[in-house]
Structure 1
Amino acid sequence: MAVVTRTEPPPRPPRRRRLLYRLRVLRHDPTAALGLILVVLLAYLVVAPLFAVLSDAFRLQYGDEVHAGQQPGEWTGYYLWRVFRSQISRLLFWEPLVNTLVVAVGTTLFALALGGGMAWLVTRTNVPGRRWLAGALVVPYMLPSWTFSLAWLTLFKNERAAGQAGFLQAQGIRTPDWLAYGPLPIVITLGLHYYPFVLLLVGNALRRIDVQLEDSARILGAPRRTVVRRIVIPLMLPALSSAVLLVVGRVLGTFGTPYVLGLPADYRVLSTGLFQSIRDRSTGVASVLATVIVIIGIVIVFTDMRLMREQRRFVTVGGKGAMDRVSDLRRWRWPACALGMAVFAVSVLVPVLTLLLSTVTRIPLNLSTFTLDFWIAEELPGAVGFPHGVLRGPELWEAAWNSLRIVGLASLICAVAGLLVGYVVVRGTAPRIAAFLRQVSFLPYLIPGIAFAAASLSLFAVARGPVPALYGTTFLLILVMAVTHLPYSSRSGIAAMMQLGREPEEAAQIAGASWWQRMRRIIFPIQKGALVTGIVLPFISGLKELSIVVMLTTTGTQLLTTLSIGLVDYGYTQLANGVVLMIALLSFTMTYLTQRLTRSSLASGLGG
């Protein structure tokens, strides 16, 4: 007869021992705690601003109680009515919406035609110097977007806007308003800035198409038009769709160019209408406009992600040699090269030289009036807000120091945070935390810059609980710039950590190394490439950023970009051009150093 004995479970260790054990585990592997800290920070810095701006759209603001018949702080639909249904809704929303769509469609068509044509030239033909052209044609994106608009004003500005007359006006040729301001110049200048997106996306897609498919169709008797319509275009559709959505999303949130070229003709788009509402302290109206821009941006990016998933339907298999073959242009090789050089000249040389010459001539581009006063004069006659040359007074150097300091710190925070997000996502054992960090760290990419700036202003303009009001501080600028560039560094960090096995870290842990020692002596040194990229790329982008910071800077936190726009407001065109040239010089220098440091190229994959 078997005797069944009942074993008592071992006694639970005392609470103090359990707590000490968990603390020891946490000291050696604080990934879970780090994940919770990142969740809290990202929830407050990314998600909370969106809820704040949404709340402001539905809560009555001080000063509007007479019009709405409610008390401040109460839930209301007054701002929705004011933006969408009131007598001034046409000026507040519907006209800016139509203007935004006109600019977006026009810019997209212009960028597709120019970028697509140049992509075919440098990837599928034997045009001379195509490797050099592939790199040179990407340069326009390194310039601030409103560089082209300031160059346009220097050439075509008429008496409608204050300040120095344009070149044609100075020669006695009056340019019509439709040529100097409004949708046409905005579309052309934005198209010249954004066509490199199309060049890169379409060019890389063209290189992946197996030309054996085209050869097979021609052998079977298909004419060239049929080959393009039935083979090339369907295979290019995902890249073309991504290029279209990317350009539309960028145009939606851009501020500088519509402000410079639209303001004199009272041509408003959604971004400039949002800025004007905040300047007029119409917080509720601005919140509704910001919400609309956020929704449109999210829809655009999710549509792009859907199309990228569909791209797997267009995969082809072919030999590498077949994919690299190019068309022989024969006698058209040098005319095609001249066309590429002309595009480079129009999109880079002409704007830069126009700005440079305007800063050294009293009458625009008239070399007989050569002067260095706009650069080094101690006193400029008639100038009030900026009474000296660009290099003479403290304003430029203070703005440059603020830009380098704020953008540099934001880039450093962005790179470290991106690598830590990647570490928690890949190494963590909590799938919900990993999924939250992966999605929320990408969320700022879905939101146009000026809308995210408005959301951050809504959250941090006043004290909320233990967090003081941060408006007007460099700390707010650093936080917002770091968060808006986090999608790039976090994706870089996740990709880098997925390529790094656990073995080096586990060996160090067995040897007794603490978590901080493992991070400092293993993770950071191995991932220094991802860290450098995560620092330098946001730094380059941040130097020429305007949409994100234009509503957050004050007199004490002036940046180079906002200084330039401020000079445009004063009508000091030559001084504004000089500041933009300084930004372009910094951007070119940092881009060159980045490419040398990382041994990469913005046009990698193009031009053979």
Structure 2
Amino acid sequence: MTRTLRGTEVDPPPEKPPARTGRGARLRYRLGVARREPTLFLGIGLVLVLLYLVIAPLVSIISDGFAVHFGDDFKAGQPVGALTGYYLWRVFRSPVSTELFWQPLVNTLIVAVGVTAVALVLGGFAAFLLTRTDVKGRKALANALVVPYMLPSWTFALAWLALFKNGRSGGQVGLLQAWGVNTPDWLAYGAVPIVICLGLHYFPFVLLLFGNALRRLDAQLEDSARILGASRGTVLRRITLPLMLPSLSSSTLLVFGRILGTFGTPYILGLPVDFNLLSTSLFSAVRSGQQGVTAVLATVIVMIGVAMVLFDARLVRQTRRFVTVGAKGAMERTIALGRWAGLAATGAWTLFALSVVVPVATLALTTVTITPGVFSADNFTLAFWTAEHLPGAPGFPHGVLRGTELWSAAWNSVRIVGMAALICGLAGLLIGYVVVRADRSPIAKVLRQVSFLPYLVPGIAFAAAFLSLFAVQRGPIPALYGSIALLVVTLAVTHLPYSSRSGISAMTQLGREPEEAAQMAGARWLTRIRRVVVPIQRGPLITGIVLPFVSGIKELSIVIMLTTGGTQLLTTLSINLVDYAYAQMANAVILIIAVLSFTITYLTQRLTRTSLASGLGG
């Protein structure tokens, strides 16, 4: 019978099965237990869903590289669907392989090494300054220097063009060219600006990783070396840097790996001089309908990304060699900068100005001026924001705040990213529940690994994999290309690792006692989840929803190949305006995205009482 406990429907515990019972009775008993404690069955369902949404796309994109596609049967000399090595030959050995793969690979390595070096130098300098010195305003600096990571990565690229663009790519020139300073191609486009722009975007990533490791370093070890007569340089070389090696290696590999999936900046700054990275070469293959070539390039990017993260995981496992044990915990000492304090603070705030103030101010200036570099009163205008009609702009004949394009893209971004974030948060909590409650079962182990797998795959490669699987109907699943459902699922799956790890961490800290008390009172499983688990885990659940939303609202690499005219997002609208050479409107849209991203991040930190710069700056 069903009883009532404070208005909640509950079930009595199942009776124990008789000592001697038939197969049917045992099955009914197990089903009764499963109805009241369905953790294992929930885990099986989650594993099946993730196998289809995570493993199947990767299998599909890999298999596409070995099957002849429609339209390539004559070139491959085999019928459509036949097993072939043609695409491998085309990417790696054909006359066009240099353009398709080898040169983009070299360019990717050059950019990745350069960006990593810039990010390590800037991030390492900022981390040391904030954690080991008495520089003034450490807390304010700690919060200010993580702002570049909140901005879309190609914000810096658009600002760079606004400053350094020459006449090579058409449209209006940059400020320097307008002032009579001729900017060479190597400065306006290509490797140099890409490295600088991405370095300014990723250095906060190094700051957070390296800074937290520096903060945990026991200063007594350095003091002991100084007492024994070691110079400050010797202490840095023989004590500090070796202990920081795991964090330094992890920062290097993770930044290096993220470059593989970065699209916006290489596309904007590399396209005018045909400077392709693997990500832009992959996008070109998709846009030109080369499905087999797309599959091979995506597979290579996936393999490199997986190798990077697995190597990082191995380094993390080896960090036990660097563990230091103190008697009463680590001591933290700050270095008195003395007469250098002002110079150090100036350097830190200059870094903030170059990475945030200058790019944002430059973009804002371009949106209110007709001709770059002219500061007369008649050159300032709000037409690019509010005009009902803009002459000479047939593709976007009005200001960004007029018409329906911006509002439609904004609504699409909010609802699509919002649905994906909601799925992420709920799925992350359920994954955490199953992994922790059934921690010794094979299902829990598989679920933990599969839910983390999307982190290993660069975003643009994962988007290509989803395009391969869902572009055509497969069994009962219809073709989803161009639909909102495909964007929601792709964004949810690619951001699932963050939500699942948040859910696992939160459930690990929640003991079984509250749920067991409700179970002993006869509460059903759904009731326990709704009335016990969710209220207690409200904070992690909110974090698991809001953080994917913040990340998704400025996402480009994942969605660039999946959107159509009816599913335009703010990020793709900005890139499309760049393609049309409508620089002022593109910059206006990117400013809207930046303000939206910063506002949501700020509100999230206030709501969850957390901070990206937690622990830095005192």
- Shorter chain as denominator, the TM-score bin is over 0.9
Matches of 2:205 and 2:79, distance apart in 1: 49
377, 395, 420: which one aligns with 1:385? 395
Matches of 1:532 and 1:429, distance apart in 2: 24
The yes-or-no answer on 1:582 pairing with 2:577 is: no
Q: Assess if the C-alpha contact under 8 Å between 1:32 and 1:429 holds in 2.
A: no
| Residue identity opposite 2:224 in structure 1 | S
Counterparts of residues 166-565 of structure 1 (less than 5 Å): 166-318=174-326, 323-368=331-376, 369-428=379-438, 431-565=441-575
| Residue identity opposite 2:558 in structure 1 | I
The yes-or-no answer on 1:29 pairing with 2:37 is: yes
Q: Aligned to 1:602, what secondary structure does the other structure show?
A: coil
Matches of 1:319 and 1:393, distance apart in 2: 67
Tell me: CA distance 1:531–1:322, structure 2 relative to 1, closer, same or farther (3 Å): closer
Equivalent residue pairs, number: 599
Matches of 2:123 and 2:78, distance apart in 1: 53
What's the counterpart of residue 604 of structure 2? 594
- Tell me how far 1:365 sits from its aligned partner: 4.7
Counterparts of residues 99-114 of structure 1 (less than 5 Å): 99-114=107-122
Matches of 2:30 and 2:212, distance apart in 1: 51
- Tell me how far 1:174 sits from its aligned partner: 2.0
| Residue identity opposite 1:587 in structure 2 | S
Matches of 2:22 and 2:441, distance apart in 1: 29
Deviations 1:242-285 (A, max 9, x none): 11011101111100000000000100000000000000000000
Q: Assess if the C-alpha contact under 8 Å between 1:32 and 1:430 holds in 2.
A: no
Q: Aligned to 1:341, what secondary structure does the other structure show?
A: helix
The yes-or-no answer on 1:12 pairing with 2:21 is: yes
- Tell me how far 1:324 sits from its aligned partner: 2.0
- Tell me how far 1:19 sits from its aligned partner: 4.2
What's the counterpart of residue 40 of structure 1? 48
- Tell me how far 1:427 sits from its aligned partner: 1.2
- Tell me how far 1:10 sits from its aligned partner: 6.0
- Tell me how far 1:491 sits from its aligned partner: 0.7
What's the counterpart of residue 90 of structure 1? 98
What's the counterpart of residue 62 of structure 2? 54
Matches of 2:212 and 2:563, distance apart in 1: 39
| Residue identity opposite 1:603 in structure 2 | A
Deviations 1:261-318 (A, max 9, x none): 0000100000000000000000000100000000000000001101111111111233
When structure 1 is superposed on structure 2, of 50-59 and 363-372 the one drifting more is 363-372
Deviations 1:318-338 (A, max 9, x none): 377863210011011111111
- Tell me how far 1:566 sits from its aligned partner: 0.4
Superposed CA RMSD: 1.3
Q: Assess if the C-alpha contact under 8 Å between 1:133 and 1:341 holds in 2.
A: yes
Q: Assess if the C-alpha contact under 8 Å between 2:147 and 2:356 holds in 1.
A: yes
Q: Assess if the C-alpha contact under 8 Å between 1:210 and 1:319 holds in 2.
A: no
When structure 1 is superposed on structure 2, of 548-557 and 163-172 the one drifting more is 163-172
Matches of 1:499 and 1:392, distance apart in 2: 50
Runs (5+) with no aligned partner, structure 2: 1-17
| Residue identity opposite 1:91 in structure 2 | E
Q: Aligned to 2:167, what secondary structure does the other structure show?
A: coil
Matches of 1:562 and 1:90, distance apart in 2: 29
- Tell me how far 1:208 sits from its aligned partner: 1.5
Matches of 1:94 and 1:115, distance apart in 2: 31
Q: Aligned to 2:169, what secondary structure does the other structure show?
A: coil
- Tell me how far 1:430 sits from its aligned partner: 6.3
Q: Aligned to 1:605, what secondary structure does the other structure show?
A: coil
- Tell me how far 1:173 sits from its aligned partner: 2.0
Matches of 1:547 and 1:113, distance apart in 2: 26
When structure 1 is superposed on structure 2, of 350-359 and 497-506 the one drifting more is 497-506
Q: Aligned to 1:58, what secondary structure does the other structure show?
A: coil
Q: Assess if the C-alpha contact under 8 Å between 1:205 and 1:236 holds in 2.
A: yes
Q: Assess if the C-alpha contact under 8 Å between 1:167 and 1:363 holds in 2.
A: no
- Tell me how far 1:590 sits from its aligned partner: 0.4
When structure 1 is superposed on structure 2, of 420-429 and 398-407 the one drifting more is 420-429
What's the TM-score once normalised by structure 1's chain length? 0.97
Deviations 1:82-131 (A, max 9, x none): 00011110000000000000000000011111110111111111111011
Q: Assess if the C-alpha contact under 8 Å between 1:167 and 1:364 holds in 2.
A: yes
Matches of 1:367 and 1:580, distance apart in 2: 23
Matches of 1:38 and 1:265, distance apart in 2: 46
What's the counterpart of residue 64 of structure 1? 72
Tell me: CA distance 1:606–1:11, structure 2 relative to 1, closer, same or farther (3 Å): closer
Q: Assess if the C-alpha contact under 8 Å between 2:179 and 2:373 holds in 1.
A: no
| Residue identity opposite 1:13 in structure 2 | G
Q: Assess if the C-alpha contact under 8 Å between 1:125 and 1:326 holds in 2.
A: yes
| Residue identity opposite 1:270 in structure 2 | L
Matches of 1:365 and 1:605, distance apart in 2: 42
Deviations 1:126-178 (A, max 9, x none): 11101110110000000000000000000111111122221112222221100
| Residue identity opposite 1:566 in structure 2 | N
Matches of 2:56 and 2:279, distance apart in 1: 21
Matches of 1:322 and 1:314, distance apart in 2: 14
Matches of 1:437 and 1:496, distance apart in 2: 16
Deviations 1:460-493 (A, max 9, x none): 0000001000010000100000000100111111
Tell me: CA distance 1:232–1:430, structure 2 relative to 1, closer, same or farther (3 Å): closer
What's the TM-score once normalised by structure 2's chain length? 0.95
| Residue identity opposite 2:88 in structure 1 | L
| Residue identity opposite 2:334 in structure 1 | V
| Residue identity opposite 2:534 in structure 1 | F
Q: Assess if the C-alpha contact under 8 Å between 1:258 and 1:268 holds in 2.
A: yes
Matches of 1:364 and 1:308, distance apart in 2: 49
Deviations 1:548-571 (A, max 9, x none): 000000000000000000000000
| Residue identity opposite 1:39 in structure 2 | V
Q: Assess if the C-alpha contact under 8 Å between 1:357 and 1:365 holds in 2.
A: no
- Tell me how far 1:11 sits from its aligned partner: 4.8
Deviations 1:470-522 (A, max 9, x none): 01000010000000010011111111111111111111112111111000000
Q: Assess if the C-alpha contact under 8 Å between 1:164 and 1:572 holds in 2.
A: no
Q: Assess if the C-alpha contact under 8 Å between 2:217 and 2:330 holds in 1.
A: no
| Residue identity opposite 2:211 in structure 1 | G
| Residue identity opposite 2:147 in structure 1 | V
| Residue identity opposite 1:366 in structure 2 | V
Q: Aligned to 1:106, what secondary structure does the other structure show?
A: helix
